[in-house]
């Protein structure tokens, strides 16, 4: 059913969305629907900006504020242990860890209730530190396994700042 639009707002928005669709599609091939919606919103709020492109996939909103958490563990000679963060798909954290001596590392994640199945993201040997940004590809627990291959105890400290719901040691109240 047709309803009059005396302010022409609806018509202007439709024309803007059409123009955005054409502009985005012409610039980079078929545009993702989220990019078209972002472009329409940006142009409605701020007008058309020369040279502006759109990538809605670069932003993930979070209902919770970021949090910073730190865990420390000591590995006896020849032993290994894990620290994990629970993240929803698309959420991320910035991390830094340090070790008092070289350790081997496997940064990995697993789906909730997985049975010994996991996905490795970074595997290395003889490391004393690591830092970076991690973005979860799936809901689950993501973190590190460190192994002490020396004859002396090694202390590891990890700090994460991001949108994890918890940072924990599996099997230690986690």
Instruction: For each of the domains in the chain, give its residue range(s) and CATH number, in order of start.
Output: 67-168 (2.60.120.680)
Q: pTM value?
A: 0.76
3-state secondary structure the chain: CCCCCCCCHHHHHHHHHHHHHHHHHHHHCCCCHHHHHHHHHHHHHHCCCCCCCCCHHHCCCCCCCCEEEEEEEEECCCCEEEEEEEECCCCEEEEEEEEEEEEEEEEEEECCCCCCCCEEEEEEEEEEEEEEEEECCCCEEEEEEEECCCCCCEEEEEEEEECCCEEECCCCCC
pLDDT at 20: 41
Does residue 118 surpass a pLDDT of 70? yes
Low-confidence winner among 44-58, 78-92, 126-140 (lowest mean pLDDT): 44-58
User: What is the band of 174 on the pLDDT scale with cuts at 50, 70, 90?
Assistant: low
């Amino acid at each position: 059913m047709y309803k009059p639009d005396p302010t022409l707002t609806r018509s202007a928005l439709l024309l803007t969305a059409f123009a955005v669709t054409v502009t985005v599609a012409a610039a980079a091939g078929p545009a993702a629907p989220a990019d078209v919606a972002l472009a329409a919103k940006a142009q409605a709020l701020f007008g058309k900006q020369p040279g502006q492109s759109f990538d809605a996939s670069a932003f993930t909103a979070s209902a919770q504020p970021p949090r910073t958490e730190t865990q420390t563990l000591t590995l006896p000679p020849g032993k290994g242990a894990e620290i994990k963060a629970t993240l929803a798909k698309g959420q991320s954290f910035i991390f830094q860890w340090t070790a008092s001596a070289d350790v081997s590392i496997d940064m990995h994640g697993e789906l909730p209730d997985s049975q010994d199945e996991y996905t490795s993201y970074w595997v290395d040997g003889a490391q004393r530190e690591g830092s970076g940004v991690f973005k979860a590809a799936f809901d689950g627990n993501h973190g590190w396994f460190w192994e002490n291959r020396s004859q002396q105890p090694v202390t590891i400290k990890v700090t994460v700042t991001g949108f994890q719901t918890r940072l924990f040691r599996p099997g230690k109240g986690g």
